[in-house]
């Protein structure tokens, strides 16, 4: 009788434990979402968002991929879908300026275009938890998720209508799908990998060289195992990815005409063709499904080669800095995450933690990504390094797993987890401007620029400041983003050679001066008292 009563009780206990095991991950994901919502409410549209929104609306209504075609359409379609289906915002009168504001767009529409990105961030958090739980343990997964929930780059870029967050998610999922296929090279896993690669290509153009590396690794595995089926899998992955890219571009077929050393590429729903010289004079015509993708890829290549004014540690370089991304990561990513992931990497390299062949081979992907990033001349923010970040969280989970049997070590790790949350909270909700504790918040402009500090996200804070001091006349100089009047700010703009008196508000980017004709043009303001530092990006001076 006692045994009969004990069995149901044990079953009930096991079921309760099974339900409670997801309580901690659910709380952490809610914390992440809450911070994203806080960000949406307090941060204005960034410099690139209007262009992404307009380009997305153009793809929905007209099937046009011409505006700001330096990014694939996936994120833009996702972000702009609520506007297209539930509002009257349109692009009929939009100018070709990539940063122009779509007619009818309102500040409240930030919720429409940004909430879908939050959902993608939530999906990434779940994926990180599942991967770490599968590789190590659920407690390690909870630890990694706690770091994710307080990761400023993840919060910020999954709270704006940009393309970087989507690139992070698809790159992570594609890499994990490759690891799964390597461990179990069956047709189902190959098809899933093909889908993952297809969406990765539709998210960011940097996926193109990464895809080439991935296919090469699949062929290497086929040769190593001497299995023709693996080569067939590689072909299937390439085919599925190609079809998904074509679908993302509305099944458009581009016409490429070659004659007398000139290429004339015609795309559907375009006002102008893409005309460029080619190193041969043969005459022929090629029709390419999804040819808009090649146009975008070429634009990114040209932009990268022509980019100027890379800024690092107070210096500028026309061709960029070799160590730019190393410094960007060191300054912009939480120090404790870097420390914990570094310990995890050391444990893996010393084989204190055993990983599957798929996990080891998949590690080539983020390493390759970082090496490719080092060669890029387009150096405008740590956001271009973010696809590496989720893999650091996996390594941090490895650290927890290794020390799981040491009570003292777990206490230390738990304290570091809390310390990371406290550190990141210093900048909340201004997560885009986050810098390591090693850099004073008012001195960040001395180290990095561009979207690392100010991406035009401070207009709501500026409006709040004006509401507090309604009798002050504001003289404002902002780096980018929407016009202050879009958020109801009444101010006077001034040029870099002017010296107004009163309340003068200048972005940290202009204090650095690397994008001005005269780098010292705004330094005269330092002789006056700083009244406030808005949104960790805008200096308020009281000029007598």
Residue that finishes a domain, picked among 400, 433, 466: 433
Q: Both tokens of residue 512? A: 């650095």
Helix (H) or strand (E) run with residue 240 in it: helix 228-248
Rounded Cα distance, 389 and 380, in Å: 17
Helix (H) or strand (E) run with residue 539 in it: strand 538-543
Residue numbers of the chain with a pLDDT score lower than 50: 1, 8, 10-15, 95, 97
Same domain flag for 384 and 456: no
Same domain flag for 355 and 447: no
Give the rounded distance of the alpha carbon of 274 from its chain centre.
29
The pLDDT, as a whole number, for residue 308 is 65
Q: Both tokens of residue 540? A: 């308020």
Same domain flag for 257 and 276: yes
Assign residue 280 a region: left if phi > 0, alpha if psi is -120 to 50, beta otherwise?
beta
- The answer to the question of residue 5 being in a domain is no
The pLDDT, as a whole number, for residue 518 is 84
Same domain flag for 276 and 348: no
Angle at Cα 10 formed by Cα 7 and Cα 12, nearest 5°? 110
Rounded Cα distance, 347 and 135, in Å: 14
Query: CA distances (Å), 276 to each of 157, 252, 299, 390, in order?
Result: 35, 21, 12, 39
Residue that finishes a domain, picked among 378, 408, 433: 433
Same domain flag for 282 and 372: no
Give the rounded distance of the alpha carbon of 413 from its chain centre.
27
Place of tokens 């790159």: 171
- The answer to the question of residue 181 being in a domain is no
Same domain flag for 494 and 529: yes
| Cis peptide bond N-terminal to 211, omega within 30 | no
The model's pTM is 0.91
Rounded Cα distance, 92 and 442, in Å: 42
Same domain flag for 424 and 493: no
Helix (H, G, I), strand (E, B) or coil at 251: coil
Helix (H, G, I), strand (E, B) or coil at 308: coil
Angle at Cα 490 formed by Cα 485 and Cα 496, nearest 5°? 85
Same domain flag for 342 and 420: yes
- The answer to the question of residue 415 being in a domain is yes
| Cis peptide bond N-terminal to 429, omega within 30 | yes
The pLDDT, as a whole number, for residue 281 is 84
- The answer to the question of residue 17 being in a domain is no
Query: CA distances (Å), 432 to each of 43, 158, 350, in order?
Result: 9, 11, 35
Place of tokens 């020390």: 403
The pLDDT, as a whole number, for residue 1 is 47
- The answer to the question of residue 8 being in a domain is no
- The answer to the question of residue 60 being in a domain is no
Dihedral pair phi/psi, residue 477, rounded to 5°: -130, 110
Same domain flag for 374 and 329: yes
- Walk across the sheet containing 274-277 and list its strands: 274-277, 262-266, 253-259, 284-289
State which residues form the domain around 266. 253-306
Q: What domain count does the chain have?
A: 3
Q: Both tokens of residue 288? A: 């390419």
- The answer to the question of residue 186 being in a domain is no
C-alpha count within 13 angstroms, C-beta hemisphere, residue 296: 25
Same domain flag for 332 and 426: yes
Q: Which of 484, 500, 485, 495 is nearest to 521 (CA)?
A: 495
Rounded Cα distance, 261 and 265, in Å: 13
Same domain flag for 350 and 426: yes
Place of tokens 């990014």: 71
Euclidean distance between the first and the last CA atom of the chain, given in angstroms as a whole number: 89
Give the rounded distance of the alpha carbon of 197 from its chain centre.
17
Q: Which of 512, 501, 504, 494 is nearest to 534 (CA)?
A: 504
Residue that finishes a domain, picked among 407, 433, 459: 433
- The answer to the question of residue 31 being in a domain is no
Same domain flag for 290 and 335: no
Dihedral pair phi/psi, residue 529, rounded to 5°: -65, 145
Rounded Cα distance, 523 and 398, in Å: 47
């Amino acid at each position: 009788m006692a045994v009969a009563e004990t069995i149901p009780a044990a079953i009930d206990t096991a079921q309760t434990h099974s339900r409670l095991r997801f309580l901690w991950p659910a709380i952490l994901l809610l914390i992440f979402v809450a911070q994203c919502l806080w960000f949406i409410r307090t941060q204005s549209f960034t410099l690139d968002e209007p262009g992404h929104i307009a380009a997305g609306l153009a793809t929905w209504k007209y099937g046009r991929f011409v505006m700001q075609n330096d990014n694939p359409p996936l994120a833009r379609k996702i972000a702009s879908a609520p506007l297209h289906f539930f509002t009257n915002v349109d692009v009929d009168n939009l100018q070709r300026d990539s940063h122009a504001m779509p007619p009818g767009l309102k500040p409240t529409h930030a919720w429409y275009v940004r909430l879908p990105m939050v959902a993608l961030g939530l999906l990434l958090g779940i994926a990180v938890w599942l991967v770490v739980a599968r590789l190590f343990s659920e407690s390690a997964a909870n630890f990694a998720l706690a770091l994710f929930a307080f990761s400023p780059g993840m919060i910020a870029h999954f709270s704006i209508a940009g393309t970087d967050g989507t690139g992070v998610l698809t790159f992570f999922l594609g890499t994990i799908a490759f690891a799964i296929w390597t461990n179990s090279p069956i047709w189902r896993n190959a098809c899933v990998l093909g889908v993952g690669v297809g969406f990765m290509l539709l998210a960011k153009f940097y996926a193109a060289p990464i895809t080439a590396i991935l296919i090469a690794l699949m062929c290497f595995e086929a040769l190593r195992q001497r299995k023709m089926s693996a080569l067939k899998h590689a072909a299937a992955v390439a085919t599925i990815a190609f079809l998904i890219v074509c679908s993302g571009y509305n099944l458009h077929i581009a016409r490429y005409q070659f004659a007398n050393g000139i290429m004339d590429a015609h795309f559907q729903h375009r006002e102008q063709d893409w005309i460029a010289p080619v190193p041969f004079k043969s005459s022929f015509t090629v029709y390419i499904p999804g040819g808009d993708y090649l146009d975008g890829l070429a634009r990114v290549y040209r932009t990268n080669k022509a980019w100027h004014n890379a800024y690092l540690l107070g210096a500028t370089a026309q061709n960029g800095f070799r160590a730019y991304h190393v410094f960007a990561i060191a300054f912009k990513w939480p120090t404790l995450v870097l420390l914990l992931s570094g310990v995890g990497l050391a444990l893996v390299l010393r084989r204190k933690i055993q990983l599957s062949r798929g996990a080891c081979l998949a590690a080539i992907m983020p390493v390759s990504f970082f090496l490719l990033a080092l060669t890029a001349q387009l150096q405008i923010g740590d956001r271009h390094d973010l696809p590496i970040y989720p893999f650091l969280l996996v390594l941090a989970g490895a650290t927890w797993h290794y020390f799981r049997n040491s009570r003292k070590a777990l206490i230390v790790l738990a304290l570091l987890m809390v310390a990371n949350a406290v550190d990141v909270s210093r900048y909340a909700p201004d997560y885009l401007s986050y810098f390591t504790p090693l850099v004073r918040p008012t001195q960040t402009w001395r180290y990095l620029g561009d979207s690392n500090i100010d991406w035009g996200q401070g207009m709501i804070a500026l409006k709040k400041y004006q509401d507090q001091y309604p009798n002050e006349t504001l003289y404002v100089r902002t780096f980018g983003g929407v016009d202050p009047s879009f958020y109801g700010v009444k101010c006077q703009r001034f040029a870099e050679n002017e010296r107004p008196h009163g309340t003068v508000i200048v972005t940290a980017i202009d204090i650095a001066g690397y994008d001005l004709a005269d780098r010292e043009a705004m330094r005269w303001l330092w002789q006056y008292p700083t009244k406030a530092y808005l949104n960790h990006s805008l200096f308020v001076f009281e000029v007598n």
